[in-house]
Amino acid sequence: MKSNVLKVVVASTNPVKGKAALGGFQRMFPQEQFELVAVEVPSGVADQPMTNEETWQGARNRVMNAKQAYPEAHYWIGIEGGVEELEGELASFSWVAVCTGDKWGKARSGMFFLPPAMTELIAQGVELGKANDQVFSQLNSKQKGGAIGMLSDGALDRKELYEQAVIQALVPFKNPELYWKEAGEDPMKR
């Protein structure tokens, strides 16, 4: 077991995002030890991103802002939830961005469609977490199972959905020789 602890800064103080980030790192690199630091930073996009591009930009902006706040970290990770209209329905998903040095990993979570009651609230300017709270008479559900947790009756929750995307975003870091030209450079050794 290595004694070197790698500092991972998650660009959110939402405990669900922190647990998903740490879980993804631990599952991909079980031989490493990680210290998670949560920091609240702006996404630079709307509270409820309404397109794939805006959601990706929010995740990337969060990473850049976390990097400025904690430049001494080994990794910075941004998780941004968003929605997008597809064929008249509203789909929910998230983007994950991970950075170390000048190396980036990125992935989008699975997506699911929202029911009309939530879609109508979001169209009125309500953020998805608050829309979910209203529809299901919950309080702060985005720091718990989220919309997917309520809609799937707990079969899948927000942490699991995000953790899968974190793992996918870490694939290049697990296989650096396949993703980056600097053969032999191992970002885990930073």
- Residues of each annotated binding site: 12-17, 72-73
Could you tell me which residues are annotated as the binding site for Mg(2+)? Answer: 72
CA distance 138 to 18: 21
DSSP H/E element including 56: helix 52-69
CA distance 60 to 67: 11
Residue ranges of the alpha helices (H) in 70-188? 116-123, 128-136, 146-151, 158-169, 171-174, 176-179
Could you tell me which residues are annotated as the binding site for substrate? Answer: 12-17, 72-73
CA distance 189 to 160: 27
